[in-house]
A and B are shown apart, each in its own frame.
Chain A
Amino acid sequence: MKPLEEILKDVSRCVYCGFCESVCPTLPFGPHRGYGPRGRINLIINSIKEGNLSQEAASSIYSCLLCNACSEVCPMKIDIAGDIREMKALINRGAFGPISIKIRER
């Protein structure tokens, strides 16, 4: 639903503070930072800018619960869960080619 530029504009405001990581339910049980909001947001930035997405990155994004705890504490008020959902839609539409999603818990 959101145009690509709008997603990119929103996520690009991230200042990498990591505050969002302190409230994310998936991060503590995931294999790495990709499974948390700071990671997901920056994977989105990099993949939209560069047009490619690894399976590991796509899976990290996919594992989000959309619970939105992260946005509550984000000092930049980024619509984190909303942007992640849009990214799932982009992946589904094949924007990054056929990627299989393999969610890994730690």
Chain B
Amino acid sequence: MSLMNARFVAELLKEVSLKTMLPVPVKMDVIYGWAINEGLPRSGKRYLYTGGLYQLLPYINETVKYIKVLEKSSSGELALRAILDAIKVNPYIISSFIKPKPSEVNASYRILKSISRLVSKKVELAYLYEDDVYSGVLLYDMGLDDAFYEHAKKVYEKMLRRKATNLITVDPHTTYILREVYPKFIEGFDLEVKSYIEVLDELGIDLRGKARPKWGLVTIHDPCYYARYLSIYEQPRRLLSAVGVEIKEVRRSKKMTFCCGGPLEAMSPKYSEDIARSRMAELSSKSKVIVTMCPICRANLERVKEEGVTILDIAELLSEA
């Protein structure tokens, strides 16, 4: 049983976000590092907005592990409180403890590069670089509305300064929060927000050669926010079919998809893992190749991966075609 006070996590998140505009204290180049050699222009109308979730997830998970270690230490809650106080002064104080596996960081960079290259083929795409700040989605999910509001205002200002009119997003949470929640919090919010999956579906995907489905039969794990909140579930299927990938559906798919359990990770890793494991069993019963399209789903399913199972981000699959 894990009995950590979840409000501690909320408090920590709030403090770090206020100070750094990120959910974990890392340097901004973690977010735009992937784009250094991609040659994307700094200005334009359509911006790729990653919101950092792909890049930050390895760091978020390491932070959670670090908190767990502190919590289990002899001084337990006291240690947590001390850390919280220290963070209020200098959030970067814990940075040196948060060292994710380079392979995880590289994987998220690889996915982002694939996405940016796929989209660049179809539209003129600019990138926000140091203004590609985190959206504040975790603040909103945890019900830290005041902090979220403060954060969102700053994000919107940055977008306005960059004269953006269209944002192309890369993950379901950021897409949802920008498209559906920002307009409710921010007066006059006027940006068209589309997921790159929608964009590719609308404009068609360029095939490099004849489609050679390397992976044969796959199954799809729909993320809740795409499938239910944004009704994006036919689009990825059309894209996969277009590149010659065959799909075997699980019972709980599309609108009735089953959550990977990821959002509970920060509060109760064991709980989150139990949910992920039951989902993994369902998915792997259909195919040993599982396609995800959300960094949280990917990380959470990866942790409980069964032998012989491959988890691929849809962008990796599409860019191979």
B269 to chain A, nearest CB (A): 10
Tell me, yes or no, whether A66 is within 8 Å of chain B by CB: yes
B-chain residues with CB within 8 Å of residue A102 when the two chains form the complex: 3-6
State whether B7 touches A100 (Cβ < 8 A): yes
A28 to B271: give the CA distance in the assembly, Å. 10
| Complex Cα–Cα for A59 and B267 (A) | 10
Which residues in chain B, 247-303, are within 8 Å of chain A measured between CB atoms? Answer: 252, 255-259, 261-264, 267-268, 270-271, 274-275, 278-279
Q: Would you call B238 an interface residue if the criterion is a C-beta within 8 Å of the partner chain's C-beta atoms?
A: no
Is there contact, CB below 8 Å, between A65 and B7? no
Give A31 to B214 CA distance when docked, in angstroms: 44
Contact B143 A25 (CB under 8 A): no
Interface residues on A, range: 20 to 34
The reply to whether B229 and A105 contact each other, CB–CB distance below 8 Å, is no
> Considering the complex, which residues of chain A in the window 63-100 have a beta carbon less than 8 Å from any beta carbon of chain B?
63, 65-69, 71-72, 85-93, 99-100
Is the beta-carbon distance between B10 and A26 smaller than 8 angstroms? no
> Given the interface contacts A85-B143, A105-B2, does A67 sit within 8 Å of B228 by beta carbon?
yes
- Check A69 against B267 for contact (C-beta < 8 Å): no
Q: Is the CB of A89 within 8 A of B145?
A: yes
Give the Cβ gap from A16 to chain B, nearest Cβ, in Å: 22
Contact pick for B142, options A25, A65, A88, CB 8 Å: A88
Kindly report which residue of chain A lies nearest to residue B268, judged by CB atoms: A103
Whether A57 sits at the interface, judged by CB under 8 Å, is no
Q: How near does chain B come to A73, taking the closest CB pair, in angstroms?
A: 8
Q: State whether A105 touches B143 (Cβ < 8 A).
A: no
Q: Is the CB of B5 within 8 A of A100?
A: yes
Chain B residues with CB below 8 A from A87, complex form: 143
Contacts of A101 in B (CB 8 A): 5-7, 267
Residues of chain B at the chain A interface (Cβ within 8 Å)? 1-7, 10, 140-146, 184-185, 224, 228-229, 252, 255-259, 261-264, 267-268, 270-271, 274-275, 278-279
| Chain A residues near B (Cβ < 8 Å) | 1, 23, 25-26, 28-30, 59, 62-63, 65-69, 71-72, 85-93, 99-105
A-B contact pairs, 13 of them (CB 8 A): A63-B268, A65-B275, A67-B224, A68-B229, A69-B256, A72-B228, A85-B143, A88-B142, A91-B143, A103-B2, A103-B4, A105-B270, A105-B271
